Amino acid sequence: MALSKPIMNLVASYLQNLYLNPIKTKAITSCVVGSAASIVSQVVAGDCVRLDPVLAFGLYGLLFGGTIPHYFYNIAERLFPEDVVAFPLAKKLLFERLVFAPFMQAFSLYTLARFEGKNHSAAVKQLYALYSTVLEANWKWLTLFQVINLAFVPPMLRVLFMNLVGFGWAMFLATKRRQRQQKEERKE
């Protein structure tokens, strides 16, 4: 029981910040989750922890990983309101899976490469090399989580829920990008 009070205080503080400063709170949360996922993926792979991917995932989360989904979920709620539209869950899911996910995967791959210091040409090359594999995996593995998110998670907590799911997803992305980089290094 001694641990429950600090945890409840932390949860209460987080929810208060989420209510008072939703974008800032979601951005910081995404930064922390993305950075942690990068570190964990490197440790699991048996690599020395390199700072550039950690900073890339953290910066991406801070600038885009919390903010863009925040606005997306707000737009989805306005486009497909529960009490007005027939089959709102199905429409939100299709909108997310067929419009938002393809855009975000391309944007993420390109932006992460640029944040790691790659030039435009190298970032585009990496994007072309990984995009179809990453998008297919996204549709395959994250669709169920999006159904749960859209059906059961309150709108205010949807970005947090997907950030937590995104911890595993960021590890997957980091692993795919690292495999691609190692493959390129062996060719040279």
Residue pLDDT, tens place only, 16-36 = 999 999 999 999 999 999 999
Rounded CA-CA distance 22/39 in Å is: 26
pLDDT at residue 1 greater than cutoff 70: no
111: its two tokens: 């932006």
Dump pLDDT digits (tens) for 91-111.
999 999 999 999 999 999 999
Residue 3, pLDDT above cutoff 70: no
pLDDT digits (tens, 9 = 90+) for 76-87: 999 999 888 899
Please give the DSSP secondary-structure letter assigned to residue 98: I
Tokens of 115: 């944040």
pTM: 0.85
Task: For residues 131-145, give the mean pLDDT.
Answer: 94
Q: Name the band, by pLDDT with cuts 50, 70 and 90, for residue 178.
A: confident
Which residue type, as a one-letter code, is found at position 111? T
User: If residue 10 lies in a helix (H) or strand (E), which one and from where to where?
Assistant: helix 4-20
Residue 145 carries which side chain, given as an amino acid letter?
F
Those residues whose C-beta lies under 8 Å from the C-beta of residue 126, and which sit 6 or more positions away, are 109, 110, 113, 118, 177, 180
Half-sphere exposure of 158 (CA within 13 A, CB side): 23
Query: Per-residue pLDDT for 171 more than 90?
Result: no
**CA distance to 56, 64, 158, 163, 187, per residue, from 26 (Å):** 17, 10, 10, 9, 40
Beta carbons of 113 and 75 less than 8 angstroms apart: no
**Mean of the pLDDT values across residues 151-165?**
93
pLDDT at residue number 179: 79
CA atoms of 138 and 97, how far apart (whole Å)? 9
- Looking at residue 2, its pLDDT comes to 61
| pLDDT beyond 90 at 181 | no
Confidence class for position 180, pLDDT limits 50, 70, 90: confident
Q: What is the pLDDT of residues 41-86, one digit of tens each?
A: 888 777 788 899 899 999 999 999 999 999 999 999 999 998 888 9
Per-residue pLDDT at 42: 84
Contact criterion met (CB below 8 Å) for 173 and 43: no
Contact (Cβ atoms closer than 8 angstroms) between residue 159 and residue 23: no
